[in-house]
């Protein structure tokens, strides 16, 4: 007889409910717990059989749990937490959540999510980590730029932290401000090295992926955008049509409808933020350089509704074009062969590049940072003594 198991996964433990509908009422549910450790998961998987159907909600390690359990169970269902919340009864306990998953699995109504392959999953995590580190790097540079601006020292919009760090030592700054700016710039420098290392690793992982090379034929789409579209969209056949693809990225218009009122507002932004951000950034380049249908679409719409609205619409159009290309395997019709070839050459060059080594950063950058702080603090102490 089939066994239906619902798992409520927490950081330290897992609450499980085994539901057996053929048993008498009152004996259908069996609740138990086990630690959230690799050894406990292996032991739990050994107790499963091909009659077992396991359902769990998307959490931090849900896909890894799916990989562990799938060879041992008949089905492993990973549930969409947003849809589960809509179907909830209002009560939120471990027993209720686990039992609900088990019963929904028995009824065949678990709102599942698509489980990406291992390579795609790893590229997603590399992209997310890179975006977070790059965001911190930009924040540190802005902090240093603001500190220098307080003393009337302008800083270009695009600046190398290493170059700026070298020049800070010659700038007329108070000792405290100098130490703060130097510390901020050295941190930004270290982050920049890690962002570069992640970019190289992403290039190595996707260099031989046909879909990524296909997306590079779109004018204005570079390596990171192509990798993001491929990794985030996943299987293009899981989307029924263009509207569903746009909704997945949060580029669909928000709708307020009641009676005769039907108002369409700004984009919903309910989808994947990293994918939406990559598409909007790529749309700037497409708008400037594309001579095909995408470029003409932007220029036509910008004349009617303005550049900002046209850019968001172009990002949505770009996503739909990329989705259709992934389904058909057809290159971008208005591609520039020379440009596409340069992208592939640049990709191979990036794969061969040796990224900045963190050990070098730790050995050369951070000790200098500490010495600069210590030296400046010592000099400032001597100055204070003389002043007193």
Give DSSP secondary structure letters for 179-197: HHHHHHHHHHHHHHHHHHH
Q: Which residue has the tokens 């050295």?
A: 186
Q: Which domain holds residue 239?
A: 120-351
Residue 112 maps to a domain: no
Helix ranges, 62-173 (H): 62-69, 81-87, 94-107, 118-149, 161-168
Query: 103 and 126: one domain?
Result: no
Which residues make Cβ contacts (< 8 Å) with residue 264, sequence separation at least 6? 253, 254, 255
Residue 356 maps to a domain: no
Query: 241 and 304: one domain?
Result: yes
d(CA 223, CA 196): 13
Of 107, 130, 148, which residue constitutes the final position of a domain? 107
Higher-pLDDT residue of 384, 162? 162
Query: 68 and 183: one domain?
Result: no
Give residue-wise pLDDT tens across range 48-80.
Answer: 999 999 999 998 889 999 999 999 999 999 999
Residue 32, classed as helix, strand or coil, is strand
d(CA 14, CA 189): 41
For residue 385, name the pLDDT band (cuts at 50, 70, 90). very low
Query: 172 and 289: one domain?
Result: yes
Q: Which residue has the tokens 């590229």?
A: 123
Query: 298 and 342: one domain?
Result: yes
Nearest partner of 317 among 378, 262, 255, 267, judged by Cα: 267
Residue 114 maps to a domain: no
Q: Is the pLDDT of residue 380 over 60?
A: no
Query: 62 and 167: one domain?
Result: no
Instruction: Evaluate whether 3 touches 20 at the Cβ level (below 8 Å).
Output: yes
Query: 266 and 343: one domain?
Result: yes
Query: 78 and 155: one domain?
Result: no
Query: 178 and 99: one domain?
Result: no
Instruction: Evaluate whether 278 touches 317 at the Cβ level (below 8 Å).
Output: no
Of 77-81, 325-329, 350-354, give the lowest mean pLDDT range.
350-354
Give residue-wise pLDDT tens across range 185-208.
Answer: 999 989 998 999 999 999 999 999
Residue 16, classed as helix, strand or coil, is strand
Of 71, 86, 107, which residue constitutes the final position of a domain? 107
For the chain, what is the radius of gyration of the CA atoms?
Answer: 27
Q: What CATH number is associated with residue 100?
A: 3.30.420
**Count of domains in the chain?**
2
Residue 102 maps to a domain: yes
Query: 84 and 137: one domain?
Result: no
Residue 132 maps to a domain: yes
d(CA 172, CA 33): 63
Residue 370 maps to a domain: no
Q: What is the CA 342 to chain-centroid distance, rounded?
A: 27
């Amino acid at each position: 007889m089939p066994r239906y198991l619902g798992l409520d996964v927490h950081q330290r433990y897992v609450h499980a409910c085994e539901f057996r509908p053929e048993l008498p009422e009152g004996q259908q549910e069996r609740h138990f717990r086990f630690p959230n450790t690799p050894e406990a998961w292996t032991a739990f998987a050994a107790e499963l059989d091909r009659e077992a159907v396991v359902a769990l909600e998307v959490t931090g390690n849900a896909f890894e749990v799916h990989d562990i359990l799938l060879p041992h169970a008949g089905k492993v269902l990973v549930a969409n937490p947003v849809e589960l919340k809509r179907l909830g009864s209002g009560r939120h306990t471990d027993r209720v959540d686990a039992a609900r998953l088990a019963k929904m699995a028995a009824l065949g109504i678990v709102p599942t999510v698509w489980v990406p392959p291992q390579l795609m999953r790893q590229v997603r995590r590399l992209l997310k980590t890179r975006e977070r580190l790059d965001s911190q790097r930009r924040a540190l540079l802005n902090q240093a730029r603001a500190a220098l601006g307080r003393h009337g020292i302008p800083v270009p919009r695009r600046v190398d932290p290493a170059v700026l760090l070298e020049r800070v030592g010659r700038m007329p700054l108070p000792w405290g401000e100098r130490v703060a700016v130097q510390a901020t710039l050295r941190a930004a420098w270290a982050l920049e090295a890690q962002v570069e290392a992640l970019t190289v690793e992403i290039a190595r992982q996707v260099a031989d992926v046909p879909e990524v090379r296909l997306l590079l034929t779109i004018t204005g789409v570079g390596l990171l955008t192509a990798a993001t579209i491929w990794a985030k969209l996943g299987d293009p056949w899981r989307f029924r049509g263009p509207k569903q693809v746009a909704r997945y990225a949060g580029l669909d218009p928000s709708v307020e409808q009641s009676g005769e009122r039907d108002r369409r507002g700004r984009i919903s932004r309910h989808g994947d933020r990293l994918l939406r951000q990559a598409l909007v950034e790529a749309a700037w380049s497409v708008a400037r350089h594309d001579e095909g249908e995408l470029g003409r679409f932007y220029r036509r719409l910008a004349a009617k509704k303005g550049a900002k609205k046209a850019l968001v619409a172009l990002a949505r159009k770009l996503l739909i074009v990329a989705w259709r290309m992934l389904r058909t395997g057809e290159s971008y019709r208005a591609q520039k062969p020379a440009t596409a070839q340069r992208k592939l050459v640049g990709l191979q060059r990036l794969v061969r590049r040796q990224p900045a080594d963190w050990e070098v950063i730790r050995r050369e950058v951070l000790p200098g940072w500490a010495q600069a702080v210590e030296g400046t603090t010592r000099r400032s102490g001597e100055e204070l003594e003389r002043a007193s």
